[in-house]
Structure 1
């Protein structure tokens, strides 16, 4: 019997399978798309995520990131990472490295989708395969989560993200977050001549219309487009719980607040490790508590920023407040790294 069956071959699913295989468990990943898979992503990996990748035996080529910088038309606030450096890396490069490492440690890959799930006290059967445990790592809008009845209704207006790359030399070794009254633009250097720019907003309009709200940033992006626009959303996903019998939810499938603080990859890797540790201990029920502890600071800080950014009147105060209280801003960046 398979020990760990993973639905979804993105970063969260592959990291889970690698962790399980390194612990001596037979791991199988079911994914319909060929690697590497591109998707809308800020492409900045926080220092904790870089350390987690290294622990998995994965080294990546990219651009070192040394901190976070907030900007609006009049103010600027920045804080350096205290523990290590982050990494700006193309999503396709990250996915290819995880896929390659999974193969190296003996993870089996199956082309397909997980449909109906049947489980009993000792096993779970899905996609024609039977395993001791099933990990749902099938993304933000997880079909498995929905089939298991674990979705909760959304609250408030949805937020959406769009990303494009520009062929130009990076001008910073920070992740820059440009703020306006109606959204944010995230600038991540991902190569020596490549910059990724993601825009987030409640407003659903085209990428260029969003970018026009950041004239200083638009002026800096003089290079040609290097990728098509990719989108994602609505970002907020509420989940009843992350354990349903012998099924555990990992990564974005386990619930998502927003991309505002850029921790998606680091949290995916952390929750993958927590899930495997709970299975190895024979206590899958502990995963709910572990997930809550790992994501608490992210959920609190991201939620607070989202609340402040919801109104144009309070959104315009975020960067000035960060600039006037640099120690508070530095503490927040340190808490999230």
Structure 2
């Protein structure tokens, strides 16, 4: 019986509201899945650590003094332990450690025809998603939420899709290009050696991504706890 003038649909990657309104469309490009686990081990670095394998990446994030989060993004399906075998150095470091339940999602790519249907507006993952490769999801979600609220306050919902596309244009172009390029084995095999050969170039690219994600989320880059990657 609850009624409202507007509905902000922030109901996730496989949004039921988006599907009910016919706003989804078949996704293009490589299909990838994500699976994560919290492991009871003390972080060995204060940075986010990325491990690279032939068909996916593993992201190690400090969560607490006695816990790290391990997220695997991959074009292959399967359980967490099967994916972890693709990262032997990481698997050996975590051997025997306790852990919480695994959580998975996918396919990650979600294409959307439009972010608005009347006074229903999609936000967050429901509004469309490319991949978690560049780590910008939360920053984009906060930025889009701000734009959505402004469109509601000014009673101009028709502006929201245009503003969303402008906000996410660079993310969509860069992430799509990276996912498609790294789908080729020879690109994946050469990426880490190339980054090792030119550390300043790689560091500048990572720091730029972290800066943009932090600014979108309202978290000033460079402050204690802001994103860093190695």
TM over 0.5: yes
TM-score by length of 1: 0.60
Residue 62 of structure 2 contacts residue 68 of structure 2 at CA under 8 Å; is this kept in 1?
yes
Alignment of 1:260-299 (within 5 A): 260-299=133-172
> Aligned to 2:18, what secondary structure does the other structure show?
helix
Give 1:131 shift. 1.2
Aligned: 1:308 with 2:191 = no
CA contact (8 A) 2:34 2:106 kept: yes
- Structure 1 counterpart of 2:103: 230
Aligned with 2:71 (options 198, 201, 206): 198
Give the direction of change, closer, same or farther, for the CA distance of 1:162–1:273 in structure 2 (3 Å limit).
Answer: same
Contact 2:36–2:104, Cα closer than 8 Å, also in 1: yes
When residues 288 and 328 of structure 1 are mapped into structure 2, their CA distance, relative to the original with a 3 A threshold, is farther
Structure 1 residue 136 and structure 2 residue 9: aligned? yes
Deviations 1:189-208, CA, capped at 9 Å, x for gaps: 10001001011111111211
Query: How far off its partner does 1:220 sit?
Result: 1.7
Partner of 1:146: 19
Tell me if the contact between 1:164 and 1:225 (Cα under 8 Å) persists in the aligned partners.
Answer: no
Contact 2:30 2:180 in 1 (8 A): no
Tell me the CA shift for residue 295 of structure 1: 1.5
1:255 aligns with 2:120: no
Greater gyration radius: 1
Which deviates the most, 133-142 or 325-334? 325-334
More helix by proportion, 1 or 2?
2
Structure 2 distance, partners of 1:282, 1:290, is 14
| Cα pair distance change 1:285/1:331, threshold 3 Å | farther
Question: What residue number does 2:203 align with?
Answer: 330
Q: Does the CA-based 8 Å contact 2:53-2:86 persist in structure 1?
A: yes
Structure 2 matches for 1:107-146, cutoff 5 A? 128-146=1-19
Please tell me whether the aligned partners of residues 29 and 180 of structure 2 are also in contact (alpha carbons under 8 angstroms): no
**Pairwise CA distance, 1:310:** 0.6
Q: CA deviation at 1:222?
A: 4.0
